[in-house]
């Protein structure tokens, strides 16, 4: 079974955390909440879903995990203001490990500068950011390109979870 890191901070989009995490756990995979500070509780922006950070991002490395999930909301923009989360996400891309990102999740990979020539989707407000980072933007419920699985918004979650689970088998 796989070990999945979820990189998350305050104001994540609740369902983009809860739906994939529940699906991964039900399929028998291990989920570890990685954030800025171990033990801190962070909350979702809509339903105030509480998530306790299991590991500080500065204490872990991509090689400790099989895949990375980046939920959306304002969490990715908060994370990318710090060096640790950017470096952590970049490691998954460099090691070609599965990365699942939805909504604003792609902001973290823009700052990590790892999207040149990649096919992606994401929330419409970051379309130009993804293109300017060298990616080609597709307006689809899920885009799969190598190790990268991306979706636009909560209504894409069924397709996003299905595609992500396939990478963990």
**Tokens 């040149």 label which residue?**
116
Closer CB to a copy of itself, 98 or 105, in the complex: 105
Which range binds a copy of itself by CB under 8 A, 36-44, 48-56, 88-96, 130-138? 130-138
Using CB under 8 A, which of 31, 54, 87, 129 touches a copy of itself? Answer: 129
- Could you give the string, one character per residue 4-33, with x where binding to a copy of itself holds by CB under 8 A and - elsewhere? ------------------------------
Indicate whether 43 belongs to the interface with a copy of itself (CB under 8 A).
no
Residues 6+ apart with CB under 8 A from 27: 1, 165, 168
Indicate whether 81 belongs to the interface with a copy of itself (CB under 8 A).
yes
Indicate whether 47 belongs to the interface with a copy of itself (CB under 8 A).
no
Indicate whether 123 belongs to the interface with a copy of itself (CB under 8 A).
yes
For the chain, helix, strand, coil in percent to 5 are: 40, 25, 35
**Distance (Å, whole) CA 31 – CA 114:** 24
Closer CB to a copy of itself, 152 or 167, in the complex: 152
Closest CA to 99 of 107, 113, 109: 109
Secondary structure class of 51 (helix, strand, coil): strand
Token pair recorded at residue 40? 């801190």
Closer CB to a copy of itself, 29 or 152, in the complex: 152
Is residue 103 flagged as an active site residue?
yes
Indicate whether 1 belongs to the interface with a copy of itself (CB under 8 A).
no
Burial label for 49, CB within 10 Å (0-12, 13-18, 19+), is middle
Please name every residue paired with 73 in a beta bridge, in sequence order, or none if there are none. Answer: 12
Is residue 104 flagged as an active site residue?
yes
Site residues for a copy of itself per CB under 8 A: 74, 77-78, 80-81, 104, 107, 110-111, 113, 123-129, 132-134
């Amino acid at each position: 079974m796989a070990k999945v890191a979820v990189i998350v901070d305050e104001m994540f989009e609740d369902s983009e955390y809860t739906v994939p995490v529940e699906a991964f756990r039900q399929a028998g995979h291990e989920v570890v909440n990685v954030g800025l500070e171990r033990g801190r509780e962070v909350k979702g922006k809509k339903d105030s879903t509480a998530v306790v950070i299991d590991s500080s991002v500065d204490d872990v490395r991509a090689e400790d995990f099989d895949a990375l999930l980046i939920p959306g909301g304002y969490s990715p923009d908060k994370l990318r203001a710090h060096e640790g989360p950017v470096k952590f996400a970049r490691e998954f891309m460099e090691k070609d490990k599965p990365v699942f990102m939805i909504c604003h999740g792609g902001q973290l990979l823009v700052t990590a500068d790892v999207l040149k020539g990649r096919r992606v989707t994401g929330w419409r407000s970051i379309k130009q950011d993804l293109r300017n980072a060298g990616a080609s933007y597709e307006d689809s419920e899920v885009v799969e390109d190598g190790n990268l699985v991306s979706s636009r918004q909560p209504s894409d979650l069924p397709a996003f979870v299905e595609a992500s689970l396939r990478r963990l088998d």
